Structure 1
Amino acid sequence: MFELLFKHYSGSEPPPQITHKLTAIQNAFRSKKIGNQLLVSGALNFGNNVGWFSLPFSYHSNNKQQQNIVIKFNILPTKMDLDSDLQAIYYRLDADYPLWRFAFSNSTESTADGKRQSNNNFPLLWLARFTGLREKFEKNIRILLNAPHSRLVQVDRRVKAERLKGKLSVALQEKLEQDFSNQHYYNSYATRRKILSLDTPENRFIKMVLQHAHSQLGRFLHLVAEANKKPDAQIFAASFVTQLNSWQKTLEKYLYHPMFKEVGSFKGMSKESLVLQQKTGYNGVYKVWHELKRYLDVMGSQSSVSMKTIDELYEVWCFLEIRRILLSSELGFREVEQKPVRVGHSGPEVKFDDVLADSYIFTREDGLTIRLAHEPEFTETSTPVRSWLNKHKPDIVMEATFADEFKLMWLFDAKYRIDNKSEDSEQDLVPADAIYQMHRYRDALIHIEPAGEHSHKSRSVYGAYALYPGANNQNKPLSANTYSEAIDSIGIGAFPLLPSADNDKGCIWLKTFLQKQFATIPTTPAPLTKDRYLLEDSARIPHHGMQQVHYPDLTMLITAAPEQGRDQTYIDSFKQGTAVCYHTRLEATERINLEKNAITEVRYCVIATVVAGSTEREAKYIWPVKSVKLVQRNSLNIQQTGIKIDDSDPRAVDKYWLFEFGPAFELPQPITGFCTEHHEVKLTTRRSLVHINRFDKVEPVYSAVMTYHL
């Protein structure tokens, strides 16, 4: 609530006015005359916008002159420690992106009603290469200064007779003889000679580059100094200012090199220079300059500079935290350089064939590759992932490519907000609209796979999660996260990610989640495959009335139940191919990590039985599976199990998988080689059994969770 009381207001002069640039702010205030006074009052709701706010107003004083006053104050969040968060974020950003957290051209203030439209002149991933560009730039400057390009030029000058050297022309000899005869000893004579000159177009270009870089850096440093004087400005990091000063001094040192004393001003080139394109040092500066110039031009052309808002800073800090986790020893990824492949232009805009072209690349020895991108834009024309009707721009996209070229995508959206309902919960919660946005992203982004004249559409987003600065106790297991059940069930949820001086303290749950997603299984030396992820419940949600399967001919090879104590008719039904069902304990499949989703996907069963008069096992028939049910043991009869148990048996209440069969048909050739001592199981595809006659030759699927012995 704001109340401004203007005394001695007669009504003859213009009324006081709120002069804020947003109409919504002006309309929030009302005037009321109280006697000879005027009361201007209003209420502002800043919502989740934090930072410095300016409230300007004007009025006329007794001498009829207009007075302009600005009230400035800092808006702090009610549930977050903004100062601590900012220090942790600044510390990280200054180490990786020293320029990104500064906004140019008067970025929009945080207000009660305005949408923040920041003027983001520096693409984040370009800045990731800024330091590298500077290093390459300076390295090539040093190379060319040690071996500068020069050329032979003719020099005409006049000298006295005593300074003439070398062989003289006949005409000059005659002229000298004539002058000496006339006693003209002090005349000067025109001479022409060739000398090596450094004043070449290429060296003029290098000098221009150094002068331009020095000038633009100087302008930017002046802006930084002016910004630090403002009472409501975030103080620029001393390390950042020191870094820029250091580079400017280095450029000054190069400009004072003796080589440039005889080099003139650059006036362009009439044709392409092979020196700039091919000569060592020169070609390096030429290539780096075209990209480096973009940053310097933006810096030097600004009229003001300020800090980006906390929500923008938090977004990039979250991006860097995910990058740091991927590079941790627990996950073992290695970062490789990624260069965008430009394929065309649309006006001033560069178009990419892949929306994730400009991104970080992480690789691992097992063949897993991860691309981490900041704010890629998905549109109706982007490939291979596109959207319909509207474009979408998630904050962070993480795409995993497995050894078999299969791809999965995770999205993260950073929100520097906490839900008001957190007061009623043991944990800080993310605002509900952030979860709504995760549903929107997963539904909107579609992967297009060309298939002849047609194309195949599929959901591209495997999981979408909001990130927020919740001060939750992350020393508890990951299951303690309020959103854990939703993450496992539907792939939608949130993780608290709290900026902290101790990097791991505020991101334990997210780090544990990523380790769970990408850590290899010790008992499985093979690389990660898509099968492991496609078994998750969140990947198995179909449209109503449909089924979601990955292998339409998934086949289970399994040994029959022990014959001892079972009905002979039941045993013979498997040997003769007349069995109508098969059962196995749920506890047994859970023990070998055989996922429920894999079992319910089984469409065929191959069951090995003991060969008469031998201990060897053999499978001759394959049964189509009509249904797979999870039932209680006491609900099964002797025809289904071959053995009768009563309700007093401890196994009576155990859960069992019941496979109901259609008519069996013979395999192309019997399969042998089953273990004679253990109960065994493998998952494979029916088409892979055409030429298989031994169990150990069967090619398994869902191998990341597969164990043989039950």
Structure 2
Amino acid sequence: MDSQPSGRSKEELLCFETDKIYFTIKGKNRNSEIDEKDTNSRGYLISYSEEKITGMEKAYFFEYENYELIIEKKDRDIDLSFHHENKDIRNKITKNRSGSLSGIITFKGEIGYSDLVIRINGRDYLIVTVEVFPTKIDYRKDYTAIRNDVNEEIYNLAFDFLKRTYSLSGLTKHKGDSLSEYYSILNYIFEKLKKALKVIIAMPHHSLINEGQIVPYHKLKNVTSETIKWLEKRPEKLVKKKDKFLPVEAMQISKKITLDTNENRFLKFIIKSILFKLKELKKSYLKLGRTPDSSVISKLEGFTRTMNNYLTSTFLKNVGEYEFRENSSMVFKMAVGYKEVYKYYLMLQKGLTLKGQLFKLNIKELPLLYEYWCFIKINALLRKHYNLISNDTVKVNNNGIFVYLKKGKESKVVYENPENGERFVLSYNSKMPSQTVGQKPDNVLHIDKIGEKATYNYIFDAKYKLDRAIKGSSYEKHNKTPGPKEEDINTMHKYRDAIVRKNEKTGRYEKIIAGAFVLFPYGDEEEYSEHPLYKSIENVGIGGIPFLPRGTELMEGLLKEYV
């Protein structure tokens, strides 16, 4: 069994019993670090047991903390076992001679809910769901915002690819991905979809059509080519009066506004397809054989009511059925409301698959999530001011859209400055040249300045680390306030020294890194602007930049300065 680190007191954080077991988790008590206003839970939830549970106390759990888990059995004849989806946690819990279980576990950077499953005689007996909180960022604000940013940017990248690649008819025939993924995406975009539909209902697309009506001659207001053709086929409608032939009656053609356009028919088709999937979702969910979650059923029924209302209580009730056409409509590419609905339809139809990662729905490894977010957010900041030229993070195959953003694999996005035509590349995990060992910093911005032969390279390395400048520490003495770890700053110096390129004319190796910066999770930009490791950026081109959803101004300012 692993030993608990010395110097830390262990307390019983969570302790309860049932008729069959005693359950205990020991560790450092950090409950005081949780603001009760920021959490709706007790830190854990117990399910799958019909027996009486007694002795529970409030407890919270944190990333990168060691916890001692002890599960003792009351009945000698039962066989206890433990399960967790993470193999590293599962293998830490071992059985002793008495048949009880114990071990030291850590959730590392896996933020959010985690299930501790106790089994008796091979069957699930009890599940303790603990909620793991981060220590370096605000759980409810920063963590949620980071995940939302990641999702939003991935959908934007995929949609940018889809809208250039597919016509309406090509996608309407695609069956889409799994129902669970469909529900996840619908759940994510539903409020935005409603907002777009509200815009359409207020200003629906319309067109002018010719409407024919047979009227007596004295009511005929204008004669068109359609009127002449109608009379040519019906000569009996003409009578001779004096030297002229006059019609008794004729076809009157008038212009009429109609909402029954193919675009609105396609809109109706989209809503019907969502309703069909919602029906499938509910049916499949109820077939799972477990007690249904009332909140899930309520949400599905709410979605269904909303979509039905659009069909029965708006102009769509008088719109016909959609007919597939090979040409795509500019209305769904440009018109306000329609283009947004089209975007969400593409998401639902094709879905998003992230190769090698459960990225869009369930990344819990916070250091990795932060690393991905940094690359994604830098792109979002650049796209505010510069034109996106190419992006190799989005690809397609027969199974759907793949967002290829994976640690260890290179990705590149190319931009152009609309003012001067300069192009620059933001790369992720790009292997940089070196005379010895190749270097792979997280993010590198490569800038080719017009009129200059050199390429300027700037490293932005994501580090989910923070030195809190504890009072009395060496860091606090030199820097006074929280900031990046000093060892990470030293890594930036190593990058600049190690990444070199051979000059073919002189035969010498030259440094090619103009600046190297640590991105770290800290929200107080105003305070950090006085930090020595921020001021060092201007002096030596190396330092740290705080980077969180609620703090991006310093980073954005630096990008504007270099690009």
Please classify the TM superposition score into its range, dividing by the shorter chain length.
0.3 to 0.5
Q: Hey, which of these two has a bigger chunk of helix by percent?
A: 2
Give the greater-gyration-radius structure (CA). Answer: 1
**TM score, norm. by length of structure 2:** 0.48
> Which structure's relative contact order is higher, taking Cα pairs within 8 Å and 6+ residues apart?
2
